[in-house]
Amino acid sequence: MIRASFWLHGGAGCGLALAPQLWPWWLGGLAANHAVLTVAGMVPRSSLLGPNLVRLPPGPPRVALTFDDGPDPEVTPRVLDLLDAAGARASFFLIGNRAARHPALVRQILRQGHSVENHTHTHPLHFAALGPAGMRRQVMSAQAAITDAGGAPRFFRPPAGLRSPFLDPVLAGAGLLLANWSRRGADGAIGDAGRILRRLSPPRAGEILLLHDGNSRPGADGRPVVLDVLPVLLARLRAAGISCRSLPQALSEPGAAWPEAATAAESPTTTADASP
């Protein structure tokens, strides 16, 4: 797709030079190309621009529970307590500069049996519009900060799940696999626990679920809504016979298999140390 896009741009440039009177057609072709790349390639669940884990491979009945935008010194410990009480495990997609400010909290996440993953260094909402150098800085700075705090991320999730054709080569160089979601609660935008739970119901094995331990909206009681959603969600999953796992756990259980792109990737720590 990317090669075809480059050829199309080159062809449009030649066509404009040879037949400038047809400029609306050349421009329309380029606009259509960009629309396809944006709508079909950049959206969170698309794999057209490279590997993208949005659902677990076949295996035992489990979901991968993931939390974005932490660590948060007020909310993350309470989320960890709720997970511990339910015997659940999760993956925390951390913002690098927050991990650097709260390394003890990163270590607590790991100590309690969860995984820590990469969610960029500063969480720029325009991440998908950055060039390769800007994306690499965000990914590698976060990787270094989380690694320094004691973690070793194997997965990356961009802000809002959006990507561009430049992201896959950056992740390949860092030894990371893109992981988005099957369903998200939208608790970063919705403060109504009932609405969020409806978005995540009924429970289905094999899904990757997204909530937030950072930037979760206040609920009706004024506290982050994730703290009202999580106990109910965990109870519903337990009643359905579905266990909650971190991404590495879910992909390492008997009967499951790591995606090919992940098993072929270099160690993120090794790559980060070797990068200039």
Long-range residue pairs from 105-112, CB within 8 A, at least 24 positions apart, any chain: 105/70, 105/71, 105/73, 105/76, 105/77, 106/71, 106/146, 106/149, 106/150, 106/151, 107/149, 107/150, 108/77, 108/80, 109/71, 109/76, 109/80, 109/151, 110/150, 110/151, 112/80, 112/83, 112/84
Distances (CA, A) of 186 to 111, 123, 219: 28, 17, 13
Long-range residue pairs from 34-42, CB within 8 A, at least 24 positions apart, any chain: 36/1, 37/1, 37/5, 37/165, 41/1, 41/163, 41/164, 41/165, 42/128, 42/162, 42/163, 42/164
Question: Residue 1: beta bridge partners?
Answer: none
Angle between helices 76-86 and 226-239 (to 10 degrees): 20
Q: Give the residue numbers marked as catalytic.
A: 68, 212
Virtual torsion, Cα 213, 114, 228, 198, nearest 10 deg: 90
Distances (CA, A) of 81 to 42, 112, 123, 137, 165: 35, 9, 26, 33, 39
Backbone angles phi, psi at 9, to 5 degrees: -60, -45
